[in-house]
């Protein structure tokens, strides 16, 4: 099904599918095994102008929206979520600049992100501040024409590989969450360094690292929006990016379904292909139906986001919650269909199952998504008494 995609959107899909098939699939197992950052693949995506996908045209991008991002991310995730995470995380780092940057900030940073010359990253999470983002401890104080940042960020995707970071820090602790602000930090800023690189269950091709700020000095004009807007920047960014996580889930679930169905047609037991057994056929049928349902939701929400609607938090949370739960279910069932083969690294479904797990966790756990949806429902149906 083409889901009423435009000609340009179909071109994006076909281009990303070609790159995934020809460039990503042949190396995904090696990248995973070696925990190797996919630099050559990022260069290939840059040469295809895909890093400009969501960047406005006046800054060297293609001017696409949430749907175009979801289409591209889905196709890359069908081959490898580690690769798609590296790609998508640069957009996550760019969104605060797109949404809240000054004209000068946009002109300086967006063209180099769009070209793929420099990767971006988003830094909010800390060791004691995950779901409770208001608990962040990293602080920034104003000193003349500079801000001085102290603290650390944990589990930052593209950490150590990105050269441009959107960072959330507290500027006025007395105001609680309203005392947070957003800044642009560059690789090489004095006092900024990269700490431990994490060893992970899945998405091993992506870089996940600690960021350390020790009297890190940046020019005052790197403040995004104004002081106190940090959590607004973060939440608006997640509203835009969460459907992309849903698209990753659709992609990896589709990839697992592809592998499971192909295996079931060739694997014989009792002299019959196992796809002819009702138990297996029904499992595959449920997997296929849920993948299509997840895709339809992601595309629908992406179009809603691109419509310019203001209140998108509930829909965005749904587009992250449902597909990622489905991805975990479908990849686990794909391993089951392949049986002992599925548990071995010779087949890609065990990697897909490992990769799928993080989708239920990053950019807001699925428990947090349910909170968001519940809070919005409470508003819609009237405050509970």
How distant is the alpha carbon of residue 346 from its chain centre?
27
How is 11-24 classified by DSSP, letter by letter?
Answer: HHHHHHHHHIIIII
Backbone phi, psi, residue 21, to 5°: -70, -45
- Are 62 and 53 in contact, with CB atoms under 8 Å apart? yes
- Are 264 and 337 in contact, with CB atoms under 8 Å apart? yes
CA distances from 34 to 69, 77, 84, 234, 304 (A): 28, 19, 17, 33, 40
Closest by alpha carbon to 117, among 176, 60, 76? Answer: 60
Distance between CA 274 and CA 141 in Å, rounded?
A: 64
Distance between CA 260 and CA 296 in Å, rounded?
A: 21
- Are 251 and 75 in contact, with CB atoms under 8 Å apart? yes
Distance between CA 185 and CA 112 in Å, rounded?
A: 15
Distance between CA 64 and CA 98 in Å, rounded?
A: 12
Question: Residue 356 has which token pair?
Answer: 């799928």
Distance between CA 73 and CA 64 in Å, rounded?
A: 13
* Residues tagged active-site: 363
Question: Residue 111 has which token pair?
Answer: 């063209």
Closest by alpha carbon to 150, among 142, 139, 159, 141? Answer: 139
Distance between CA 135 and CA 286 in Å, rounded?
A: 41
């Amino acid at each position: 099904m083409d889901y009423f995609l435009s000609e340009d959107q179909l071109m994006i899909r076909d281009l990303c599918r070609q790159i995934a098939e020809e460039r990503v699939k042949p190396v995904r197992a090696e990248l995973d095994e070696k925990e190797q950052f996919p630099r050559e693949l990022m260069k290939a995506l840059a040469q295809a102008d895909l890093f400009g996908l969501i960047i406005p045209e006046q800054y060297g991008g293609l001017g696409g929206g949430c749907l175009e991002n979801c289409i591209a991310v889905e196709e890359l995730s069908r081959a490898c979520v580690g690769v798609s995470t590296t790609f998508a995380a640069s957009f996550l780092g760019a969104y605060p600049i797109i949404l809240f940057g000054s004209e000068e900030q946009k002109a300086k940073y967006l063209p180099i992100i769009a070209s793929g010359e420099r990767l971006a990253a988003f830094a909010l999470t800390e060791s004691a501040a995950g779901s409770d983002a208001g608990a962040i401890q990293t602080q920034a104080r104003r000193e003349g024409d500079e801000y001085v940042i102290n603290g650390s960020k944990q589990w930052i995707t593209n950490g150590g590989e990105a050269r441009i970071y959107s960072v959330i820090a507290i500027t006025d602790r007395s105001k609680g969450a309203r005392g947070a602000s957003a800044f642009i930090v560059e690789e090489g800023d004095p006092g900024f360094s990269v700490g431990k690189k994490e060893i992970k269950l899945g998405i091993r091709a992506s870089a996940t690292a600690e960021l350390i700020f020790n009297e890190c000095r940046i020019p005052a004009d790197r403040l995004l929006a104004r002081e106190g807007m940090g959590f607004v920047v973060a939440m608006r960014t997640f509203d835009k990016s969460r459907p992309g996580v849903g698209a990753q889930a659709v992609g990896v679930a589709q990839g697992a379904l592809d592998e499971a169905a192909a295996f079931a047609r060739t694997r014989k037991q009792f002299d019959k292909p196992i796809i002819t057994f009702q138990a297996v056929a029904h499992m595959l049928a449920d997997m296929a139906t849920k993948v299509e349902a997840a895709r339809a939701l992601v595309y629908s929400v992406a179009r809603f986001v691109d419509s310019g609607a203001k209140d998108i938090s509930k829909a965005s949370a749904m587009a992250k919650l449902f597909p990622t739960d489905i991805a975990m279910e479908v990849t686990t069932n794909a391993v089951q269909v392949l049986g002992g083969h599925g548990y071995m690294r010779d087949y890609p479904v065990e990697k897909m199952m490992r990769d799928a797990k993080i989708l239920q966790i990053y950019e807001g756990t699925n428990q947090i998504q349910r909170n968001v949806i519940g809070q919005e429902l409470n508003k819609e149906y009237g405050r509970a008494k």
